[in-house]
A and B are shown apart, each in its own frame.
Chain A
């Protein structure tokens, strides 16, 4: 089973991922999506021992309280090899470079191309497994 965490402050994102993943990525095997409306909740989840190991994090950048970059840094402090995808509506080279330098695995811009995301997941997760 593949465990993916999704962090985005817009609630509709989670519905979107849920439906899209169900339709497009059934061939990836069993997927378990866990959604968070903010970064701190995600961090709390990662510290828990009673949850299955996380395989990948998909995070928005612009969020109140803590943005995607900070979340990436905090996650990599504990789990440096955990794949981390950045998703942002800001299509700027500045964000892309910052995400790269902080060690993000991928940088996706909104609107999300789910076919591209599917290819990336296949590649990155098969390397893992």
Chain B
């Protein structure tokens, strides 16, 4: 703006020259008064902003001063006319010092820039100083403090500045930070305490568990020891009770054998002797049966495993049982049904198997007898079957007698369990049969409906490992 104004002022020189000087210059040219012209032109050249002057008349340079540096905007050529004839007397070239003006303004501009820059710098520094003093230092202090806050420093944050009344934002910030820090510390402490408590609890629990485990282990050991002791005691006890039972079973018939035979020695009554002999024989057989059973149970028998016709054994077992019962004038069923498979040969201990089957058949007949005694119209049925099923031979003894109470379960195989009247059985029959099945590597199972029927299945392997090897 300033520049434009100065520039316009400079341009105004052209107008001044045109208006004020050209006419007198024309006169002087006309009169050719060079002295006056020179004075006039000197005056003109000293005019502010005129850098170059040249007056040409009749193609002759009359006056020249300054340096020429022509450009579009600083150069003007004036034609000097005669005021009456309008004849061109000469031309005046005027150049204005625009460059100088420009430089001056440029310098001014730089100067102003520098001055303003300096001013700004001063103000900024001042402001910075103030700002720094009243704010940044404290914020840095706060930042430093916050950096160290986790390192368990217990000092409250305080601003390094004189106390003053009221509370500004910094005070609020500091208070908040202190509050936050103390809260954090408190929380941390709490957390740590909790952690410690937890750790202690864990340790305590672990200790308790270990103790419990130890006591459990001890208890386990104790139980194991007790178990071992119990098993040993049980064995001894069962041996004891077995011995006692066997003794009891033998003492009863022995009582008769001993005392009756004593009577025989001095009896003269033939009827009495006959009766006594019958009783003695009966009870001697009882003792024999018991001893045989014990032998089979203990494995002290001379039986040999050989391929045997199972059907033959089944028939013989029935016949033996019936004839034994007939001898003791016991009940014998009116008929038996055989359902035997074709030529069933299997490895067997013939004598033992015969005994096992006889025992089972005798029980079946006994079950029929009980029902017959209770019910005169009852039709007893006894069925003996053999069949090959897979790798085994099954011998099935079925009767429609009194059945077996469900409560007895597998106890029916226990030794000395009997449902027969005294003197009729020692309770070893099924125990022996079960053992014989096992001796063959087979099984003895039963099913029954109490009051309706019983069915015993003695299964023997078709191939015995002792034979095949």
Contacts and interface: CB of A to CB of B under 8 A. Distances in A.
A and B physically associate: yes
Given A9-B422, A111-B255, A16 B260 contact: yes
Nearest to A16: B259
Contacts of B422: 9-10, 62-64
* Chain B, interface residues (CB within 8 Å), range: 20 to 34
Contacts of A64: 421-422
Contacts of A89: 247-249, 251-252, 255
Given A15-B279, A109-B251, A110-B255, A10 B244 contact: no
Interface residues of A, number: 22
A12 B275 CA distance: 11
A91 B255 contact: no
Interface string B279-307: 10011000000000000000000000000
A23 interface: yes
Nearest to A23: B263
A110 B272 CA distance: 23
Contacts of B423: 10-12
B258 interface: yes
B256 interface: yes
Nearest to A19: B263
Contacts of A109: 251
Contact of B244 (A9, A23, A92, A110): A92
Contacts of B421: 9, 64
Given A9-B421, A110-B251, A20 B263 contact: yes
Given A10-B423, A110-B255, 7 more contacts: A10-B252, A11-B423, A12-B279, A13-B255, A23-B266, A64-B422, A111-B259
Interface of B: 244, 247-249, 251-252, 254-256, 258-260, 263, 266, 272, 275-276, 279, 282-283, 421-423
19 contacts: A10-B423, A12-B283, A12-B423, A15-B275, A15-B279, A16-B255, A16-B259, A16-B260, A19-B272, A20-B259, A20-B263, A62-B248, A62-B422, A89-B249, A92-B244, A109-B251, A110-B252, A110-B255, A111-B255
